[in-house]
C-alpha cells in the first residue's frame, strides 16, 4: 500500500458475520445457548456490528431455525459490551420480515427471570428493546477517514472506536445476486423479481425506522456462470439497492473467486457508476486464499467496511466448494499491520475462535488466530 493510503486508513469497521453466515453451513445442529454464548463473547471484543441470525426458511437453512430465540434474547437481555452494538438479521422476503417484526414487537417486555446473559444497565431497571435506529449521519454519509490529523498514525489499533450507534440496535439485511443462475438457484427468482422483493422489504422496514443492509452475492464469481461476472451488472444492482433506500451494500465474493485485479476493476466500476465507497462493504471468502489480498485492494480504493467471521467459519449452502469467510483474526491482524484502527481486540477474538471451533468439532481456519494463541501460551 502507498504511504498516503495507509495514513488515511485509520478507522476501519469490521462486521462480524460468524453467528449467521459463519454457522449457516454447519452440518450438525447448533444449540441456541451456543449461539447466544458466541454472540456474548464477541460483544466484548470491540466489534460494533454482529450478524446474529436469519429469518430464512429452516427447510433451506436449518441452522437458522432458532433465530427468533436469538432475537428475543438480545432484545430482552442484551449482552454487556464496551459500547453499543448493532445486531443484524438476514431477511429473505416480506414473510421473513413479518416474522422478524413479530419477534421484535413480541419481545417488548423482558422475561421475569434473569437470563444468564446479563444487561449492562442497572439490573433493577427493565431493559428497553432497542428500536432499529438510524445511525448518526444517515442523512449525511459519514466520512470514510478519521477526523484526526491524517498524518498521525493511531497509537493503539485496539483502542475502542467511537460508535455511531447511540444504543444497542437491531437491524436487517436483504440480499440479491449478480447473476441470473445464482438468483434462481438461491431464491427461485430472477434478479428483477428479487429487486422488487427487496423494494417491498425496504419500504416496510423504513416505515418502522429500521436500518437496512444489502448484499449482492457472487459479485466476483458464480458457481453456475463462472468467474467472469460483469462488474457493470454488480454496479447496476448496487446502485438500485441504494436508490431504493438501503443504507449500505455489502459486495460479496461468495465463491472466493475474486483476485486483486478483478476486485480493483469492480471497485473502479462501482465508483464510475456513482456509487460511493462510503456506502459499500466488502464481504470476502477465502476459498482460493485471496481474501486478504482483496481486502488490501479494497482498502487502497477507499473501502472502510469489511465483513469477516471468527475462526474463518462459513461457506454458502448454494455454492459448492466455497469455503469460509475471511477470518476475523486474520483480517484484523492484517489491518492493524497496515496502521488501521479497528477497535477490535484480536487476542480476544483468537480465544473465541479456538472455543467455537472446539464447540463445533472442526478445525480453526484462522492462521493468525492460531499463531496468536501459540504466542500467548508461550508467554504465559
Q: Looking at residues 15-35, what average pLDDT do you find?
A: 93
Give the predicted TM-score (pTM) of the model: 0.84
Cβ contact 234:271 at 8 Å:
no
Express each pLDDT in 51-98 by its tens digit. 999 999 888 889 999 999 999 999 999 999 988 999 999 999 999 999
Distance CA 254, CA 249 (A): 14
- pLDDT at residue 129 greater than cutoff 60: no
205 HSE (CA, 13 A, CB side): 35
Higher pLDDT, 112 or 225: 225
Of the listed ranges 82-96, 264-278, 294-308, 316-330, the one predicted with least confidence: 316-330
Residue 66: C-alpha distances to residues 36, 37, 55, 88 (Å): 11, 14, 9, 15
Average pLDDT over all residues of the chain: 85
- pLDDT at residue 210 greater than cutoff 70: yes
Q: Count other Cβ atoms within 10 Å, centred on residue 232.
A: 13
**CA angle, residues 211, 214, 217, in degrees to nearest 5:** 165
Q: Sorting pLDDT into bands at 50, 70 and 90, what band is 26? A: confident
The pLDDT, as a whole number, for residue 265 is 98
Q: List the catalytic residues.
A: 316
- pLDDT at residue 114 greater than cutoff 50: no
Query: Of 192, 210, 190, 322, nearest to 255 (Cα)?
Result: 322
Residue 306, classed as helix, strand or coil, is strand
Amino acid at each position: 500500500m502507498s504511504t498516503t493510503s495507509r495514513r488515511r486508513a485509520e478507522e476501519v469497521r469490521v462486521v462480524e458475520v460468524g453467528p449467521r453466515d459463519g454457522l449457516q453451513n454447519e452440518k450438525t445442529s447448533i444449540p441456541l445457548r451456543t449461539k447466544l454464548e458466541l454472540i456474548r463473547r464477541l460483544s466484548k471484543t470491540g466489534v460494533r456490528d454482529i450478524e446474529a441470525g436469519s429469518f430464512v426458511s429452516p427447510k433451506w437453512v436449518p441452522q437458522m431455525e432458532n433465530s427468533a430465540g436469538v432475537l428475543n434474547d438480545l432484545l430482552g437481555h442484551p449482552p454487556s459490551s464496551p459500547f453499543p452494538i448493532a445486531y443484524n438479521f438476514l431477511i429473505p422476503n416480506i414473510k421473513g420480515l413479518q416474522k422478524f417484526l413479530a419477534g421484535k414487537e413480541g419481545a417488548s417486555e423482558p422475561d421475569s427471570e434473569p437470563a444468564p446473559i446479563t444487561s449492562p444497565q442497572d439490573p433493577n431497571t427493565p431493559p428497553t428493546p432497542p428500536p432499529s435506529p438510524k445511525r448518526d449521519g444517515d442523512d449525511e454519509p459519514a466520512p470514510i477517514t478519521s477526523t484526526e490529523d491524517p498524518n498521525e498514525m493511531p497509537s493503539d489499533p485496539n483502542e475502542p472506536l467511537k460508535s455511531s450507534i447511540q444504543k444497542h440496535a437491531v437491524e436487517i439485511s436483504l440480499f440479491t445476486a449478480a447473476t441470473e443462475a445464482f438468483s434462481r438457484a438461491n431464491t427461485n427468482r430472477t434478479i428483477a423479481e428479487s429487486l422488487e422483493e427487496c423494494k417491498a422489504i425496504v419500504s416496510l422496514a423504513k416505515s418502522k425506522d429500521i436500518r437496512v443492509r444489502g448484499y449482492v452475492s457472487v459479485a466476483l464469481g458464480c458457481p453456475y456462470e463462472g468467474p467472469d461476472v460483469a462488474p457493470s451488472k454488480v454496479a447496476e444492482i448496487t446502485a438500485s439497492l441504494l436508490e431504493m433506500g438501503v443504507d449500505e451494500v455489502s459486495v460479496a465474493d461468495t465463491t472466493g473467486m475474486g483476485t486483486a485485479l478483478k476486485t480493483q476493476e469492480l471497485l473502479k466500476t462501482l465508483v464510475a457508476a456513482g456509487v460511493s465507497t462510503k456506502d459499500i462493504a466488502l464481504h470476502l471468502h477465502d476459498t482460493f486464499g485471496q481474501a486478504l489480498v482483496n481486502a488490501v485492494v479494497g482498502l487502497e480504493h477507499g473501502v472502510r467496511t469489511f465483513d469477516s467471521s471468527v475462526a474463518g467459519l462459513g461457506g454458502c449452502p448454494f455454492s459448492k466448494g466455497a469455503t469460509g469467510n475471511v477470518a476475523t483474526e486474520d483480517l484484523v491482524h492484517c489491518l492493524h499491520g497496515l496502521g488501521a484502527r479497528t477497535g477490535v481486540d484480536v487476542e480476544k477474538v483468537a480465544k473465541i475462535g479456538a472455543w467455537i471451533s472446539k464447540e463445533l468439532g472442526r478445525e480453526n481456519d484462522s492462521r493468525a488466530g492460531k499463531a496468536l494463541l501459540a504466542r500467548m501460551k508461550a508467554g504465559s
